[in-house]
A and B are shown apart, each in its own frame.
Chain A
Amino acid sequence: MKAMDAGTLTEPREGLHARPHIEVEVQQQSERQLPSRDVVFSIRDLSVYYGGFKAVRNVSLDIFQNQITALIGPSGCGKTTMIRCLNRMNDLIENARVDGEVLYHGVNLYDKRVDAVEVRRRIGMVFQRPNPFPKSIYDNITFGPKIAGFKGNMDELVEQSLQKAALWDEVKDRLKESAWSLSGGQQQRLCIARCVAVQPDVILMDEPCSALDPIATARVEDLMQDLKSEYSIVIVTHNMQQAARVSEMTAFFTAEVQEDQDRRTGVLVEYDKTEQIFTNPSDERTENYVTGRFG
């Protein structure tokens, strides 16, 4: 920790006190109750633009280690945009531009010196639709470690990863078969195993169950509980029950009409313990959403 980035960190950061003061009342309320855990991401005044269109406005929140953090909200509220900022997946979208900071263990991910590829190695992602490579199950797992220069026993790593993803027993006899022969739920767990294989620190999940049936969904949710002891997990979901079931912390986003634009911009309404969000939200909009009156 010798060369802390003086450019991006103007003051030493202690827990939650160094936030910009955008949504003051929300934060004050939260700070009273938030657990004192290590922070993985500290998002500061983050805005995202696609060309001239502002997709997300001034978001600030902290994401904690070894917890599941859920991002919820109606469609178009910018939750997917948000999560894709956390491993610089938005770099791949043309015209995408980011204002503000995403501090990952104190380092701004959008610092010029940071390599997006290295970021994604440490911060893995699982996508909406299962997207295994059109290769064998085995090769799906080994691709990431190989390019990262993994030198250890590959067979062991494959077994470990598949076991962590609770898929080993189902596929151990057919590792050479095409990943596309698996069912949707299995494919998604393979994608999780593939992600785990590069030994990331954080796993981002963008609506990982939206293409799965209820049984497969339940398995993935169980898996998330197993994984959180080792990894920090951020999940985007449009399914409120899922957020309530799996997460410790929940951030509720909504889409706001901007005066100067005809499209809607995502804003963070409230960020708190999941229990709090679903039982005693402090913002009326959150309450309307979680009680199903809107969205």
Chain B
Amino acid sequence: MTSGAIDIGALQGSPQRRRRESLILRAFQLAAALSVLISAGIVFSLLGEAIVFLSNVDLSQLFAGGWYPRRGEFGIATIVTGTMVVTLVGMVVAAPLGLAAAVYLSEYAKPRVRRTVKPILEILAGIPSVVIGFFALTWISPEVIQRFFNDASAFNMAAAGLGVGILVTPLVASVAEDALRSVPQALREASVGMGARKRTTTLQIVLPAAVSGIVAAFIIGMSRAIGETMVVAIAAGGTGGSAFTVDPTGPGQTMTAAMTALAVGSDQVRGTDGTFQSLFFVGLLLFFITLTLNILSERFVRRVRQKY
């Protein structure tokens, strides 16, 4: 190539190589696009049957009476309230425990302690929910709930709520810890440099700076608690249905547990007209509630990222 110029063909590369490259790109693109298909599949499969349900059922039925789908009683308010009770109990446990664990791990723990404690939290997070459900029914309910509330029944929403709380705590801790650790070190140094104590720095500088992320952690935890199924299905009782109740010491039913109750026992979903479709209606409701919460928490997380 010492003579001045070359042909453009010399720089066109191998067409075969280029073809292979674009083929691979297409294949990978397809794999990524599949996720959109899955979302569409979720929405359409839920929506289709839910619409059938709504057109078959008198809307006034949704807000009256209990939830006994096999008898044609579709009091949505009952299971939504049940979900709220369980979630509330769960968050009463998970929010303080998760946040405290996050603060300790991020602000106080020495690296060595962190390295041991974090995996243990991860193991806790990895315990299948069906196991927590069994634990809630056989240990939490008799050893904790019934000890404090003598007239509590063996199946009760409080035990299920505590179980859900245990399940959600590691998640809250992990998201909150990420938020705390993203607070720039310079802020802590500035505070300590003025003679503030560690506790003052943590409470008055670090926590306020990370507040968006902590809110996000709570919202994610709540979303997870609302969607949690097995703990409630096992420990909260009300397998056949439930009357409207807000008493955590008694049995009750959540949206998720109501869905499994429809599927279990017979290996087939059956019942009066609309029973099968009610499953999808509840699913749709659940999907939108959790989606809203997830989008909301994403907003908060992004706010932290933008700030620092």
Q: Do any CB atoms of chain A lie under 8 A from CB atoms of chain B in the complex?
A: yes
In the assembled complex, the CB of B23 is this many whole angstroms from the nearest CB of chain A, namely 15
Residues of B within 8 A of A119 (CB): 11
What are the interface flags for B274-291 relative to A under an 8 Å C-beta threshold, 1 for contact and 0 otherwise? 000000000000000000
In the assembled complex, the CB of B8 is this many whole angstroms from the nearest CB of chain A, namely 5
Question: Is B305 in contact with chain A by the CB < 8 A criterion?
Answer: no
- Name the segment of A73-81, A108-116, A234-242, A254-262 touching the other chain: A108-116
**Cβ–Cβ contact A122 & B5, under 8 A:** no
**Cβ–Cβ contact B12 & A106, under 8 A:** no
In the assembled complex, the CB of B13 is this many whole angstroms from the nearest CB of chain A, namely 3
Q: How far is it, in angstroms, between the C-alpha of A204 and the C-alpha of B214 when the chains are bound?
A: 48
Q: How far is it, in angstroms, between the C-alpha of A1 and the C-alpha of B10 when the chains are bound?
A: 11
Residues of A within 8 A of B306 (CB): none
Interface class of chain A by DSSP: loop
**Cβ–Cβ contact B2 & A5, under 8 A:** no
Residues of B within 8 A of A118 (CB): 10-14
Residues of A within 8 A of B5 (CB): 1, 4, 13, 105-107
Question: Is B25 in contact with chain A by the CB < 8 A criterion?
Answer: no
Question: Is A104 in contact with chain B by the CB < 8 A criterion?
Answer: yes
Question: Is A2 in contact with chain B by the CB < 8 A criterion?
Answer: yes
Q: Which of B1-26 contact A (CB under 8 A)?
A: 1-14, 17-18
- Give the tally of cross-chain contacts (CB within 8 A): 55
**Cβ–Cβ contact A5 & B8, under 8 A:** yes
What are the interface flags for A186-207 relative to B under an 8 Å C-beta threshold, 1 for contact and 0 otherwise? 0000000000000001000000
**Cβ–Cβ contact A105 & B17, under 8 A:** no
Q: Which of B1, B4, B8 contacts A201 (CB 8 A)?
A: B1
Q: How far is it, in angstroms, between the C-alpha of A72 and the C-alpha of B209 when the chains are bound?
A: 43
Select from chain B the residue with minimum beta-carbon distance to A116.
B13
Select from chain B the residue with minimum beta-carbon distance to A3.
B7
25 residue pairs from A and B, CB less than 8 Å apart:
A1-B5, A1-B6, A3-B7, A38-B2, A65-B2, A104-B11, A105-B1, A105-B4, A105-B6, A106-B4, A106-B5, A107-B6, A107-B7, A107-B10, A111-B8, A113-B8, A113-B12, A114-B11, A115-B12, A115-B18, A117-B13, A117-B17, A118-B10, A118-B12, A118-B13
